[in-house]
Amino acid sequence: MDIILASKNKGKAKEIRKMLDNIDINVVTMEEIGIEIDIEETGSTFEENAIIKAEAVKNFIIENKENLSSFIILADDSGLEIDALDKMPGIYSSRYLGEDTPYEEKNKQILDKIKDEENRTARFVCAIALAKDNMDTVVVRGTVEGNIGYVARGNNGFGYDPIFYVGEKSFAEIEPEEKNKVSHRSMALNKIKQEIEKLL
Catalytic residue numbers read 77
Q: Estimate the crossing angle of helix 184-199 against helix 10-19, to 10 degrees.
A: 60
* Antiparallel, parallel or unpaired: β 2-5 and 26-29: parallel
Cα-flanking dihedrals φ and ψ of residue 40, to 5°? -85, 120
- Give 130's strand partners: 74, 138
Identify the CA nearest to 126 among candidates 57, 62, 184, 71. Answer: 184
- For 192, residues 6+ apart whose C-beta sits below 8 A from its C-beta are 74, 128, 130, 138, 140
Distances (CA, A) of 195 to 29, 55, 118, 154, 187: 20, 17, 41, 34, 14
- Give 76's strand partners: 128
Residue type at 12? K
